A and B are shown apart, each in its own frame.
Chain A
């Protein structure tokens, strides 16, 4: 059952605070998460009918805690040890519970993120769990966004919680290097969620656009806990700058529009301004990381009023830095495009030669080569590479785009 929109927003905001408070009190992450989901379900039916409580967070903690004590009570009754249940004082006073949650605040939410992006989890599991436990989405909503049945998604989440329970850790903020390490996993999961939403693949596009919004919201939440971390700010800036192009990225019929052909008047100036400001602030702190570099590249594109005004020399330099930092061959691919824009297609094609082995038959290698061959005037070679790329991508809009590129050149060749 879909939640009413007002309640929806409140519940998503409240979800991590409530869960953190309940986990702090009862310790059991998996059970607590279920109890909070049940409390949110109760809220979504009761609030619209009976009015929103004065302290929504307190109300939810109260209801979730009652469910937890009920569970513990029936558990201990089964074991014949009813004395195990202590009087539940905090749970019976929503205002006190809300105060407690507010005191834990952003740090607690970040600890939750660390748990949901536990190193024992696969990316798909971490994504699902983060969206439910931190972003407060329902299992049905997550299933819908990832095009799997609700029951499958419920099972994925339940197995993820079991994996975490298999290597339990206290509910506290990790320190020093461990914190940095765990933060990297969190940022990666957030960026994966964003890309799921941003990369147009098959499926209901609205549900997927919402994933991009949720990723941005999650990064904002992480930033509340770590306002000084340059990579958290860098990731948020990168997503805002990338998302700003969304209105121009597809045309009215859903077809992909490449960057150079996008109507830049459609770009969201507000997001660009926010992203640019965040990035400047982050870079000023001195510790440059990969998200800041990617954001800097996105900012260069955002700054160019027309495609031909793009500062490709600057972009090529940034890709060079990023490649040295990450060793990622996809970055090298982008550097080849930038090099071609600065020094001509032959320079780009030469860089691609080195990637043949590392990227094997990847569709983006073929697509990039097609683009550079077209720039160089080798129409026949470009057609062959566009076709090869179209035959290797698993994205439907991209396949249609690449096939149309081949067709366009074929028609021109006559």
Chain B
């Protein structure tokens, strides 16, 4: 079963976590190390498919076709960027339970003070081909 674990800029359940550039450098490093180790662990278990971080919402654009002549491109930065995606992990696991377990681990990444950041992770199963 394939699942997409999505992280957006909303989903912060704690209000005491500052933006990352205000963390101590060591705390940033610990957070990045956690993500790397976590991906390595998923790879090692044969569950990792892909993980990507997306560039900042400041670079986001929205495109709406208005017919052949006038496509409308809206540039950022978007102040209401909570719905914008920050990154995702794609995993291939045996069960939904395992997907939820992985999501819980991702949500426990260390915050500025080393405690779990408790950011909400959206878990979505990827639709498959016709079932036989």
Contact = CB atoms under 8 A, between A and B. Distances in A.
Interface string A372-414: 0000000000010011001111101001100110111011000
Interface residues of B, number: 18
B61 to A, nearest CB: 13
A202 B28 CA distance: 18
A138 to B, nearest CB: 22
Q: How many A residues touch the partner, as a band?
A: 20 to 34
B11 interface: no
Interface stretch (B49-57, B94-102, B120-128): B49-57
B25 interface: yes
Contacts of A393: 55
A254 B29 CA distance: 11
Contact of B32 (A202, A387, A400, A406): A400
Interface string B24-35: 110111001100
Contacts of A399: 55-56
A404 B33 CA distance: 14
Contacts of A411: 24-25
Contacts of A253: 29, 32-33, 36
Contact of B21 (A202, A254, A392, A406): A406
A394 B33 contact: no
Contacts of B28: 400, 403-404, 407
Nearest to A390: B21
Interface in B1-50: 20-25, 27-29, 32-33, 36
Contacts of B25: 404, 407-408, 411
A407 B24 contact: yes
Contacts of A396: 53
Contacts of B24: 407, 411
18 contacts: A253-B32, A253-B36, A255-B29, A390-B21, A391-B58, A391-B59, A392-B55, A392-B58, A392-B59, A393-B55, A399-B56, A403-B20, A404-B25, A407-B20, A407-B23, A407-B24, A407-B27, A410-B21
Closest 7 CB pairs of A and B: A406-B21, A391-B56, A394-B55, A391-B58, A407-B25, A403-B21, A408-B25
